[in-house]
Structure 1
């Protein structure tokens, strides 16, 4: 469904970006702090021993490369975009609650059913940028991949926002490609196997659909 707009799409996005920017910035930072507190608590107190996730042929199709690391960590920029482009406080609260539900659901799974990826035959000393990541990211959080779930969830919200402002198809494609790159990076640096990625994509898509099914298009004049 399309709506006429008095301003071009980039003007609408800028207006959304500057609306409640201070609240969005503080809220995003606070959410991430609280999330990581819960995340690391769950990894330190699993309900049982982590199960090693099986690998499939698809896992061998994605070669290991440390070049996936920048894309992996850039998730935190990508997932911040939907909230940055929300037009009002009500939408911001709705988005925040559904995002918290997504993260809470995955953390509950990590706690009750901890999983880990198989130990790859890689000399991590040759990849210092990944040594830090492997050191802080303890086992127990493999399936579903919250990294993938968050990326897919953000993709769906960005698609919704871009449709509201009637952004060009190129912006939709760019967002989708970037989401795919983030998903690829989780396997490329051996943080996740294909089953983790598949489960994460399903979780992200379900929460994205649930959170958007009753959202009405918002028009900014």
Structure 2
């Protein structure tokens, strides 16, 4: 994780900041009428749980692990490029199809952290859930690294459980509905899987790469 540490740290911070600038611009100034996402019978199966705010907020730690575990520059560039493309696709959807979650029947602002959460991450930009999309992208990238180094199954299970906890928390905090989660999972998969197979080409400079001179016949 220490390899290319500063590049990973600065790159993740800058890209996250730029994403949120665009995200909040679209949230506060939607270009088109905002559609309310419908509830499904599955939404009723997930109860509101105030403690779900902790796995919800843990995404900001989780998404840093994915780039941090990339072992070389090519893998890091691939991870970053596809993540940027995924975020751009999500923002494009929010621009052309702004959505919001339906209002809840109760006020959750009295629970720890919810007043701040609802003030910052309002009910808009609902579908697809970028929270779930980012978590899905990250779980796939981390799984590839863990499998490649022969990590114990328990560690790989922790990675999967963390993803599931984040996805569940988006419903249990009432920040999203099931359709948002499904959309976010699909968006994450669409970009995560190609990212495993495409990497920038490595340009190698050979010591004999310069032009060769033809010897004049004696």
SS in 2 for 1:79: helix
TM-fit CA distance, 1:128: 4.4
Q: Determine if contact 2:109/2:118 at 8 Å carries over to the other structure.
A: no
Q: Determine if contact 2:40/2:178 at 8 Å carries over to the other structure.
A: yes
What is the match of residue 204 of structure 2? Answer: none
Query: So what's the TM-score if we normalise by structure 2?
Result: 0.88
What is the match of residue 187 of structure 1? Answer: 171
Determine whether 1:207 maps to 2:191: yes
What is the match of residue 28 of structure 1? Answer: 12
Determine whether 1:65 maps to 2:49: yes
Determine whether 1:38 maps to 2:18: no
Question: In structure 2, do the counterparts of structure 1 residues 58 and 77 end up closer, same or farther at CA, with 3 Å as the change threshold?
Answer: same
How far apart in 2 are the matches of 1:53 and 1:44? Answer: 18
How far apart in 2 are the matches of 1:144 and 1:134? Answer: 18
How far apart in 2 are the matches of 1:128 and 1:67? Answer: 8
How far apart in 1 are the matches of 2:193 and 2:72? Answer: 20
Q: Determine if contact 1:43/1:111 at 8 Å carries over to the other structure.
A: no
Q: Deviations over 1:19-68 (max 9, x none)?
A: 11111111111111111111111212222121110001110100001100
What is the match of residue 137 of structure 2? Answer: 153
Q: Determine if contact 2:38/2:102 at 8 Å carries over to the other structure.
A: yes
What is the match of residue 9 of structure 1? Answer: none
Give RMSD over aligned pairs.
Answer: 1.4
Q: Deviations over 1:154-179 (max 9, x none)?
A: 01001111111111111111100110
Q: Determine if contact 2:78/2:198 at 8 Å carries over to the other structure.
A: no
Q: How do 1:70-219 and structure 2 match up within 5 A?
A: 70-214=54-198
Say how many residue pairs are matched: 200
Q: Any stretches of 5+ residues in structure 2 without a counterpart?
A: 200-218
> Rg bigger for which structure?
2
Decide which structure has greater helix share.
1
SS in 1 for 2:113: helix
How far apart in 2 are the matches of 1:116 and 1:205? Answer: 23
Q: Any stretches of 5+ residues in structure 1 without a counterpart?
A: 1-16, 216-221
Question: In structure 2, do the counterparts of structure 1 residues 139 and 191 end up closer, same or farther at CA, with 3 Å as the change threshold?
Answer: closer
SS in 1 for 2:67: helix
Q: Determine if contact 2:134/2:188 at 8 Å carries over to the other structure.
A: yes
